[in-house]
Amino acid sequence: MMTLSQLVLASHNAGKLKELQALLGDAVQVRSVGEFSDVEPEETGLSFVENAILKARHAARVSGLPALADDSGLAVDALGGAPGIYSARYAGGGGDAANNAKLLEALRDVPDAGRGARFVCALALVRHAEDPLPILCEGLWHGRILHAPRGAQGFGYDPLFWVPETDCSSAELAPPEKNRLSHRARAMAQLRQRLGLA
């Protein structure tokens, strides 16, 4: 078991930083890799896990601290798992609205029964840049894709992701509720257990 007082998050996304700090609690101070470097590592991995490890190693290298990286995205059944690892840049870097519009267009003629999807989160924690044994955790959140956006909370594909157990979109959930149910929450629960924080 490793003890951590602080770690660097391999992300410049303020929403993700806030979410992960809330999930980890006060025991660990989470800092953004943006404090140390503006350089984004190239995500050349072919899976969420590979990309998470690449990003964690980069963040540890530039900060000198233990680093946590999350690679997450949306896998849609009707699209063979796409957008997958390309979720953030699905529409070529046009941002959330463009990604959502492209997804809706791709699923335009797909009925509800074929719109199954899951959010995937792979977490990689490295003690240092060359850590030979990263801690890996994975979380899945099952739902389906709506025909139009709903809700104003969250980010990314949240307005299009229908959550069956709450009967609303991910973007209609209050942040504490999302932090309890999401793919990231599920992966973080595993990580907290591994770190002895659970």
Q: Cα dist. 140→8, 185, 189 in Å? A: 23, 9, 12
Do 137 and 69 touch, CB atoms closer than 8 A?
A: no
- Pairing between β-strand 161-163 and β-strand 168-169 as defined by DSSP bridges: antiparallel
* Catalytic residue (one of 26, 38, 71, 109): 71
For the record, the structure tokens of 142 come out as 């099952």
Which residue blocks in 96-141 are alpha helix, DSSP H?
96-106
The DSSP call for residue 34 is G
Residues annotated within the binding site for Mg(2+) are 42, 71
**Quick check: is 167 catalytic?**
no
- Annotated binding-site members: 11-16, 42, 71-72, 155-158, 178, 183-184
Active site residues: 71
